[in-house]
Amino acid sequence: MIIGTAGHVDHGKTELIKALTGVDADRFVEEKERGVSIDIGFAPYSMADGRIAGVIDVPGHERFIHNMLAGIGGIDLVFLVIDAQEGIMPQTREHLDILELLQIKKGLVVITKRDLVDGEWLELVVEEVRDFLGNTFLKDASIFCVSSVTGEGLKELRMAIDTLLNTVQERDEKAPLYMPLDRVFSISGFGTVVTGTLLTGTVRVGQVVEILPPGRELRVRGIQVHGGMVEAASAGQRVAVNVPGLERGEIARGSVMAAPGYYYLTRFCDARLRLLPGVRPLPNLAPVHFYLGTARVVARLLLLEGDEMAPGAEGFVQCRLDKPLVARRGDRFIVRSYSPMVTIGGGIILDDQPARHRRFRPDVLARLEELEQEDPRPFVLQKLKTASGATLNELSHLTHLGENQLQVMLEGAVQDGEASKLGELYVVAETRATWEQQIREKLEIFHGDKPLLPGMTKSLLGSLLPRKAAGRPYDALLEQLKNQGLITINGEIVSQEGFSPRPGAGQAEKIKELLLILGKGDLNPPTPRELWQLLGVKKEEGEMFLEYLSRRGDVVKVGEDYFLHKFVVERCLQLLRQHFNQNRTVTLAQYRDLIEGSRKNAQAILEYFDGCKYTRRLGDERVPLKLP
């Protein structure tokens, strides 16, 4: 868990942390000489139960707000620190605005230097602070008056800190690794070291991580948490990671260490922006300083709902960044005016990989309204719809959510009819309905064009769906349609439920004529090509007639381009049966004489019987096997 400080310069934040942790969070000589924090500092806080929380000390001077913003974004609990002598000051107000915009949920108010004021003055300051916090997330927060010098009030503060930390929601250790970097430095003999607050996931020694930017994959050599070497660190901890092979100049504060392949650099973000009351109206595409995580870039904000945003107003914007950074849905950001640099608002990222939008588009606004819901399910379903289906692993990459969380969410969506599971593939209900409609329409067209065929082969029918639907998802979809009573599956053949092949009036006459020709042809019927000429039909239609008759059993395909009427085959089988009643074997010559045909006829018919397992060939002879 991470604790952060906020408050005006020289209000005693660093001294308070030193009193609570025993660690001076000021790292630079200049900070110690001037007595003013310039950059963020860090210290471990020991809870009563032995657990360790990380503390981030931020600078209070207005010139270093950008450093303050680099440290405050990933905290679970904040101390708003106010000097008992000075009370509410400009950076007290600005820091509180930032905390509100970042929607920090838990906090305590600490009035420092109580040993320097009398009781009556302290009561006035407490009353002023309570009025100041009246409409903020700290309106009901406990106020502690302490002295970092004498230790007065620190025991009660510690008890309150521990109580609040025990209510902090655990971060997702199983989600993809994500850690914004706030420090980068080199150690002789070890190489580059990066530090940050591990927001999600776990990092282990030997693990391959990706640093964005520049977008390089590196192997972790070592990990420290609060100065001690560890094999692994989990979400919610302050972490230092040794990643050799990366030059210090390649990265800086604002880069992200992440699980490879899960996050991408972007220069566009869709977001909901809120302006603070009392600031200037914000024109469309006005440049602003944009703070996200530990990153700081210049952005132009495309206002999607108007030409200007009024003070205190909210609206959808597309943030167009001058440099690429990593963003996630749900991340909070701060914007400050370009000049003078004053905090003017902030908001929440709704989509980190959007298309470029035009303004005033109802469909775009409706989509963003759906994404704005706190429940991540609409966001996940939108990504699933755009991808036309995805496995859990693929969807985890698209949404940056852990597979366990996604599985629970998608199972709920399936139960509610918003999604379907086809094998390992999840699709939104709309996508599945489209695939179902395509299959049913294709079958209807096929049956209309080829009424004599029993249906389409699975492979031909499945070719109209996207490649990702092939295999198990396709089989699962067919099985669902079968269970719905919409289709019939017979081996590899798929048809509409209730369909049975039947010829039309014109086809029935041709089929009758074909059977007469084959019957007259006996053992030497016309070849298929000759049949088409005699019938006056095209090859495709003639082949369909033969296939229909073959399935019905009226015609038997004995060999390649050799089709016999069923009565001819039955006669040939009867002659063979009579022969075996008196003989143990039959030769090709003997069978030729039996059927009174040619050697070619006899060989084709015997090979057909071999294939049916009626007979078995032994050298130049055949013996009965499963003769019916």
Note whether 410 and 389 are within 8 A (CB).
no
Q: Confirm whether 408 is domain-assigned.
A: no
Beta-sheet pairing, 314-326 with 295-303: antiparallel
Q: Are residues 225 and 309 in the same domain?
A: no
Domain co-membership, 19 together with 149: yes
pTM: 0.72
User: Are 249 and 366 in the same domain?
Assistant: no
- Is 516 within the bounds of a domain? yes
Assess contact for 327 and 292: CB atoms under 8 A. yes
Exposure string (b/e) for 84-96, b if CB count within 10 Å is 16 or more?
Answer: beebbbebbebbb
Angle at 84 between CA 79 and CA 87, to 5 degrees: 80
Give the whole-angstrom CA distance, residue 447 versus residue 461: 12
Residue ranges in the chain whose pLDDT is less than 50:
29, 31
Residue 327 shares a structural domain with residue 445: no
Instruction: With H, G, I as helix, E, B as strand and everything else as coil, classify residue 530.
Output: helix
Considering only CA atoms, which of 421, 398, 410, 413 is closest in space to residue 176?
398
Q: How many CB atoms lie within 10 A of CB 512?
A: 10
Neighbour-count burial for 324-333, b at 16+ CB within 10 Å, e otherwise:
bbbbbbebbb
pLDDT > 70: percent of the chain: 96
Last residue of a domain, one of 111, 144, 165: 165
Report the length, in residues, of the chain.
628
Query: In this structure, is residue 390 part of a structural domain?
Result: no
The pLDDT value recorded for residue 537 is 86
Task: For residue 337, count CB atoms less than 10 angstroms from its CB and return exposed for 0-12, middle for 13-18, buried for 19 or more.
Answer: middle
How high is the pLDDT of residue 31?
45
Indicate whether 131 and 186 sit together in one domain. Answer: no
Bridge partners of 111, per DSSP, are 82, 145
pLDDT in the model for residue 284: 96
pLDDT of residue 339: 86
Q: Are residues 211 and 272 in the same domain?
A: no
The range of the structural domain enclosing residue 581 comes to 505-624
Are 473 and 574 in the same domain? no
Is 46 found in the same domain as 153? yes
Q: How far apart are CA 38 and CA 40, in angstroms?
A: 7
Q: What is the pLDDT of residue 442?
A: 94
- Neighbouring CB atoms inside 10 A of 482's CB total 14
Which of 354, 371, 388 finishes a domain? Answer: 371
Question: Looking at residue 435, which CATH number applies to its domain?
Answer: 1.10.10.10
Number of structural domains, the chain? 5
